[in-house]
Amino acid sequence: MKTFYQVKVEYVHSTKVITGSFYESYVEIPLDSIGEIVLTVTSDGYETYQARKTLQPSVNDLGEIILYKDPVQLKEVVVKAVKSEIQHDGANYTIRNIRGTHIGDAGNLTDMLKWTPGNYPP
């Protein structure tokens, strides 16, 4: 999957704005004016890059721009599970509350016993 980049060049002392969207990591944008600009580069999953630059009357190379991964901050994670109650006395096991578990979904008693300790033979 290719990364999608959005580039925006805003001239500070003008209303002129140049925008573009690219899938390539190497981009050339023709800038026909000199002066101060604000360069913004965005891409989903990355922190926004923004820098103020001054364009000269000669060739302007803005250099390498590095976008850093945007860390995902989770506010809350809730994990819910049904706990099976397993009691054992020596080789005897009692299993309760298996509804909604892989053992409870096993099928008939013989199928269920295949999931229990001791691996009941078929």
- Given a contact cutoff of 8 angstroms between Cβ atoms, the answer to whether 80 and 66 are in contact is no
Is residue 44 one of the residues assigned to a domain?
yes
Same structural domain, 51 and 93: no
Give this prediction's pTM: 0.56
Structure tokens belonging to residue 2: 């290719």
- Residue-range definition of the domain harbouring residue 43: 5-55
80: alpha, beta or left? (left if phi > 0; alpha if psi -120 to 50): beta
Answer whether residue 106 is part of any domain. Answer: yes
Q: Indicate whether 78 belongs to any domain.
A: no
- Confirm whether 60 is domain-assigned: no
Number of structural domains in the chain: 2
pLDDT in tens, 69-78: 988 777 888 8
Residue 42 in any domain: the answer is yes
pLDDT bucket at 80, cuts 50 / 70 / 90: confident
Q: Is residue 21 part of a domain?
A: yes
